[in-house]
Structure 1
């Protein structure tokens, strides 16, 4: 374990591409040491090399499939062994399958719930002692969990019933975590954006122009803003809708 003194440390799941990669990049720019986890080894290797070269920060890469309990446990153990500290846990790994309720497949349901809800709950549970000890050592700042949810967890979207349900549950989980832990300095925030311009929304571009979507920088900026708050400030949910005449829109 490396002694990082007062240097902040973050863990980002889903950190090799899209929103997660941009969050990891912005955190590295703020001087955070990082653990970056993703499912594909090539993606993990690339982002680790990029962050080290661009920002000179310490980065641990962990290949982990969030649908597998053993990988979640291995990730938590690897981070604690390497850093012994956790100021910010970003739950960025997620997946969605576009299918109507009438066509929901049990396998697709199980996979979305495993990645979008079960893995975050297990990872937080396993890392909670580390979050608590970090918050205790740094009472002014505390420690934070940020979960990338979705506006579909706030207002339903046709075709995304299971995805939206998993994100609604994630939002509720964050609220409960703050109720239980914020007095000790650990709080959680669910960031719930509408459609963001990433490879996950590429299939929508025949009906939704990229310029009409949120950017990864929009979401990363919100996450960075949370790291600047004191432990006294608990932010349950940040909902970000796209511009236009409809307020609650994916």
Structure 2
């Protein structure tokens, strides 16, 4: 561990190579964190995210891991500890969203999505529960559709309902460790993945739903994460709906 890393708070951000995860990583970098950008696919996008963290004022490395594979996740946490001396914050943004009506939903797709969203959360949280230092935070990612219940979201909402349960129970299981456990539940957020395939009328209708009359941005979500990661020590065992008031 190098001397300049010794005084930094250290964060692991899974799914940190793009979308909301990348913005979270960059925001934590601006807060002075050393950030481990976890990714499963594009090494190039992960490297770009690490560069953005550094440009914002933080330190960053990239580590590839399948979040549902326990040996790979353990290796990710091992690397963070070797490089930076410990782990203070784990933000688990990695997940899949594959939509379709329940009556015709492909069960193989269901299994694939639930492997990432449920097993992945369980595996990442298991390592986090063992390793996050006193004064730290574990932040999972849920969704506002667990409350909004739109058609086509049964499989995805079911997986994120499991994330809610894991979050609330883990917060209680970590009694005495001074580690908070919460989940952020975004509403419609203007990421490339969300906007892809939607016509302008659909986007405009979704943007009109919140009282603030716009879609969320990745920075809106990252702001909530930064709050839970740092000053919000008395918020614990909660699902924080970050959706502009639509729920």
Give the TM bin, normalised by the shorter chain.
0.7 to 0.9
Task: Give, in whole Å, the separation in 1 of the partners of 2:24 and 2:109.
Answer: 27
1:60 corresponds to which residue?
61
- Trace 1:1-250 onto structure 2 (pairs within 5 A): 1-2=1-2, 4-39=5-40, 40-52=42-54, 54-131=55-132, 134-135=133-134, 142-203=135-196, 205-206=198-199, 207-209=202-204, 212-229=214-231, 231-234=233-236, 236-242=238-244, 247-248=246-247
Give the drift of 1:242.
4.3
Q: Return 5+ residue gaps in structure 2 as ranges.
A: 208-213
Query: SS in structure 1 opposite 2:182?
Result: strand
- Compare 182-191 and 12-21 and name the one that shifted more: 182-191
CA distance in 2, matches of 1:2, 1:109: 44
Q: TM-score, normalised by structure 2?
A: 0.87
Aligned positions, number: 236
CA-CA distance at 1:204 after TM superposition = 5.4
Cα RMSD, aligned residues only: 2.0
Q: 1:105 to 1:68 in 2, by over 3 A?
A: farther
Residues 104-143 of structure 1 show CA distances to partners (whole Å, capped at 9, x for unaligned) of 2122111211111211211121232221xx20xxxxxx11
The alpha carbon displacement at 1:74 in A equals: 2.4
Residue by residue over 1:174-225, the C-alpha shift from the partner in whole angstroms, topping out at 9 and shown as x without a partner, is 1111111143211211111111100221235311238532111111111111
Which runs of 5 or more residues in structure 1 are unaligned? Answer: 136-141
